[in-house]
Amino acid sequence: MDADSPAVFFLSDYGTSDEFVGVVHAVLHRLAPARPVIDVSHRIPPFDVDSGASMLVRCAPFLGPGVVLAVVDPGVGTARRGVAIGTAGDGPAWLVGPDNGLLVPMATELGGAVGVIQLDPARATPGRSGPVGKTFDGRDVFGPAAAHLVMGGRPEDLGVQVDPASLTVREAAGRGPEPRVESTPNGWAVVTTVTWVDHFGNVQLRLRPAVLEEIGLLAGGTATARVEGDGAARRRSVPVRRVLAFAELGDGEYGLALDANGRMALVLDRASAALQLGISGPGQTVRISVAAPEDTGP
């Protein structure tokens, strides 16, 4: 198969203990047998639209041509729309799923929405017969729509075009405000937020390396990280060192490392920084303070 062959990139909160993922795969295989299906993840926490949106953004630069099929859909069966969003970038040409804020951050990362189709379930699943309920749009609407598009089908065959400005945007999808630099009596600090905790317990921050350099924290430099929140266990300060790799850290030593997505992360070597710092997920505030160099005189 051609390495540049368009693929379906499938993400959901379905888990793998039931048949949901397999059934959607079967639908895709029947309707688009020539196209590969790549499972991005099916372990999004149930109903957690923001986690799904964040994962899609992290994946955006690395997916090739094709269609993203994303289903985290607590509003399934209601009046919420299903959509196919056309993108302007070099990655996936279409994003298919519920209009609940799941897809918009990824569309933005890929250069913005250049066309939006509101999916008509009757058009997305031609020939379907029998009562099947309204609780499995991944199988009955989004999967068939993704198969149609990845096979080069006309988008207008799936529904009507709508204004991209009408798409649902969730404020939480950005995972907090931009980092803020502050002066302190002893130096400088940057205040930021947690955007993601990965499987290993590394704590990704809404923070790029340039901001640390702005406050004077270079590779090998040390600072203090304070995790702020409710309860004494979540209000603690720890020394941190800016490193390039986990293995540079000693046993129990906290580090600030650039992760695979270009963000700074609070880490430990072969241990969970999130667990040790009492961080359960996105949204918590982290303050990183750097002391000013001592003036040693002439």
Q: pLDDT tens digit string along 73-113?
A: 999 999 999 999 999 878 899 999 999 999 999 999 999 99
Please list, in sequence order, all residues whose beta carbon lies within 8 angstroms of the beta carbon of residue 297, skipping any fewer than 6 positions away: none
Other beta carbons less than 10 A from residue 92's beta carbon: 29
pLDDT tier at 296, thresholds 50, 70, 90: very low
User: Is-contact 80 103, C-beta < 8 A?
Assistant: no
Other Cβ atoms within 10 Å of 275 Cβ, number? 13
Nearest in space to 206 (alpha carbons), one of 196, 215, 216: 196
Helix (H) or strand (E) holding 9: strand 7-12
Mean pLDDT, rounded, for 256-272: 97
Taking only the tens place, the pLDDT of each residue in 223-246 is 999 998 754 455 689 999 999 999
List of domains in the chain = 7-173 (3.40.50.10790), 175-291 (2.40.30.90)
| Mean pLDDT of the 51-79 span | 96
Q: Residue 232: its pLDDT value, please?
A: 43
For residue 298, pLDDT over 60 is answered with: no
* Cα 137 from Cα 83, distance rounded (Å): 12
Query: In angstroms, rounded to a whole number, what is the distance separating the alpha carbons of residues 19 and 89?
Result: 33
Distance between CA 198 and CA 270 in Å, rounded?
A: 13
